[in-house]
Structure formats: C-alpha cells, structure tokens
C-alpha cells in the first residue's frame, strides 16, 4: 500500500472514530480490511452530509460545493485525476478520502451510482431548504399541515421512502458489497434495513428537525392523525401525537422485520455487524416507545456501556463463529 493510500485510510479511520458514534461501535467487529473499508464508506457519507449541513455558509454556496463534490467523485471513480482542493471547507478530509474511496470501490465492486445517489439525497435536503427560505407562508407539502417557516418535506410515504433510500438505503447496499452476499435479493433487504434506520433517526430527531424548520414525517400522516407542523414545533404530546407515533414506530418495525431476512444472504463476516447494528438502532426505537414517545425532553440514545457490549458481542461472534 502506498503512503498516500495508507494515509487516506488512516484519515478515514480517524474521522469515523471521532464522529461515527453508533456506526463505529457496530463495525469494530469486522475483519481489519472490511473494518477499514467501512470507515472509508462512513467518512465519505459523513462528508457529503457535512457539505449539506454547514449552516455557516449560504445555501447557494453549499449547493456549489456539492456540485463540485459530485464532479470530483465522478472523476475519482472513473480513473481521472483526483481533486487537489478542499472544496472551500478548510478541511483536509475532503481531499484525503478519495484514494481510499477508489481503492475500496474497486476492491468490492461497489457501483458508482451508489455514491451519486447519496449526493442526490443531500441535494434533496438543500432544495427543500431553499424552497422553505424563499417562501413566506407556504411549504413543500400539503397546506393542510403547512405553517410559517416550518415545512413538511414530503407529501406521502412513498416520497419519504425514496428520500430514505438516497440517504440511508443506498448505504446498506454499499455495506453488503463490503461484507459479501450471495443472492441479489440481499440488495432490496439491505435497502429496507437502511430505511428502518432512517425512520428511527427521523423519530428520534423530530424536535431538533422542527427547530431547524423541517418535518420529515409525511404530510399525509400528520393529516391522518389530525396533527399540524405547529403541534410538532410546540412539542404537543397529546393522544393525537401518541397515535401518530404508535403508527410510525409500527411502520419502522415492519422494515426491521424485513431487514432480518438479510441474514440468510450475507456472507459470515457481515452477520455479526448486521446483528450489532440492528441491536443499536432497534434499541433506539424501543427506547422511544419506552419513553412513551417523549422524543423532546432529552435526546434518545443508548448508554455507552450498552454500545460497548454490543460491539464486544459482534467481535466475539466473528472470532468464534457463532
């Protein structure tokens, strides 16, 4: 491995260790090469999100950075010259990730479209934010749940599911290329797994997202349970909210059940990490229910000791083949 490539992998591992949290605890149980590749995958996805989420710069600057990032990704993954700049971020990781990314995608034959899909997901958020900023009292979705400066990102669950695929489902597809799978059916199951995780994140971050002017729950769901975006912003937790959250948790549980089908198609090294990830994110969903859906008063999370136990179990399972 060249010094440049080794440095790239080291940079990705450092970034993942610092920022990955739930994911990092999950993939520590993988064999070394796959573990390093997961750090690269996470780092690339994280940097995509950082471009979109950097509220210190205007939306049009973020959009321009994302366009340049997309062009650099296309160039890198098609064997053209790697970028020699930081995309205006002032962070070396944006340049350093590419050698390891190219090596990883070639090693595991991950389709280039996967990384472009992720960029499309970030662009969806930027476009929705741009619409919200340019409107006085209208939003992206139905006026029945629209309120000043707070938008429903999606009208229907199908629209939300498409968004979730671009920001999470495609990550699952990339993961199983690294872990190994023996049936094309695994691709759909991996996407369902990503959808389950993203739905969990949406429920956990409901209040935080509302503070930032976004509601990811579909407008049709809020209307069904007679909720408004103002109710979400004001942290209303009445019977309507309880019914809405019961429905949302049940939907997420359906996708967790589908994700379990993935075990039968995964190669052995990937099974412990999938088990760990399902425990961590499934644990978050269960904690939301245990709190009677109070996702507002404090952030829903698992204690560090529990994450460490899950990680240790994954490593033990890999080593001893259980």
Q: What is the pLDDT of residues 253-286, one digit of tens each?
A: 999 999 999 999 999 888 888 888 898 899 999 9
C-alpha dihedral (67, 23, 174, 107), degrees to nearest 10: 100
pLDDT number for residue 213: 86
Q: Dump pLDDT digits (tens) for 11-62.
A: 999 999 898 865 676 677 788 899 999 999 999 999 999 999 898 999 999 9
pLDDT band at 105 (very low <50, low <70, confident <90, very high): very high
Element (H, E) at 214: strand 214-215
Work out the average pLDDT over 135-151. Answer: 48
Q: Dump pLDDT digits (tens) for 231-245.
A: 999 999 999 999 999
Element (H, E) at 152: strand 151-152
C-alpha span between 150 and 89 (Å, rounded): 28
pLDDT number for residue 194: 95
Structural domains of the chain, with CATH: 3-320 (1.10.600.10)
Q: How far is CA 69 from CA 9, 19, 65, in A?
A: 19, 20, 6
pLDDT number for residue 303: 62
Q: What percent of the chain has pLDDT over 70?
A: 84
pLDDT > 60? residue 134: no
pLDDT number for residue 301: 80
Q: How far is CA 258 from CA 10, 140, 172, in A?
A: 35, 30, 13
pLDDT > 60? residue 140: no
Dihedral of alpha carbons 282, 43, 189, 168, sign: positive
Q: 67-76, 202-211, 267-276: lowest mean pLDDT where?
A: 267-276
pLDDT band at 136 (very low <50, low <70, confident <90, very high): very low
C-alpha span between 23 and 42 (Å, rounded): 8
DSSP, collapsed to helix, strand or coil, labels residue 226 as coil
pLDDT > 70? residue 314: no
Greater pLDDT, 182 or 145: 182
pLDDT > 80? residue 321: no
pLDDT band at 164 (very low <50, low <70, confident <90, very high): very high
pLDDT number for residue 273: 84
Q: At what angle do helices 93-108 and 3-19 cross, to 10 degrees?
A: 100
Name the phi and psi angles at 147, rounded to 5.
-145, 165
Q: Dump pLDDT digits (tens) for 176-190.
A: 999 999 999 999 999
pLDDT number for residue 132: 58
Work out the average pLDDT over 59-70. Answer: 93
pLDDT band at 94 (very low <50, low <70, confident <90, very high): confident
The mean predicted confidence, pLDDT, of the chain is: 86
């Amino acid at each position: 491995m060249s010094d440049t490539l080794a440095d790239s992998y080291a940079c990705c591992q450092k970034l993942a260790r610092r920022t990955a949290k739930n994911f990092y605890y999950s993939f520590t149980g993988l064999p070394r090469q796959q573990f390093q590749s997961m750090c690269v995958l996470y780092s690339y996805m994280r940097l995509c999100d950082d471009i979109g989420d950097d509220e210190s710069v205007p939306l049009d600057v973020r959009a321009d950075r994302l366009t340049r990032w997309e062009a650099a990704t296309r160039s890198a993954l098609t064997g053209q010259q790697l970028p020699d700049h930081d995309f205006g971020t002032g962070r070396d990781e944006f340049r350093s990730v590419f050698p390891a990314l190219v090596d990883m995608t070639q090693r595991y034959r991950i389709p280039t479209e996967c990384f472009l899909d992720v960029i499309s997901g970030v662009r969806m958020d930027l476009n929705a934010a741009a619409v919200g900023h340019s409107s006085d009292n209208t939003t992206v979705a139905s006026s029945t749940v629209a309120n000043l400066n707070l938008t429903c990102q999606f009208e229907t669950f199908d629209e939300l599911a498409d968004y979730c695929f671009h920001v999470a489902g495609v990550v699952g597809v990339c993961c199983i290329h690294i872990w190994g799978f023996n049936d094309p059916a695994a691709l759909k199951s991996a996407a369902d797994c990503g959808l389950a995780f993203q739905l969990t994140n949406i429920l956990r971050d409901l209040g935080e997202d509302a503070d930032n002017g976004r509601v990811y729950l579909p407008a049709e769901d809020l209307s069904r349970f007679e909720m408004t975006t103002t109710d979400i912003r004001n942290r209303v937790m009445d019977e309507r909210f309880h019914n809405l959250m019961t429905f949302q948790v049940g939907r997420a549980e359906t996708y967790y059940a589908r994700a379990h089908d993935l075990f039968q198609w995964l190669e052995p090294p990937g099974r412990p990490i999938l088990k760990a990830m399902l425990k961590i994110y499934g644990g978050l969903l269960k904690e939301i229910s245990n709190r009677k859906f109070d996702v507002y008063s404090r952030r829903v999370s698992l204690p560090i000791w529990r994450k460490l136990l899950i990680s240790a179990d994954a490593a033990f399972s890999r080593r001893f083949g259980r």
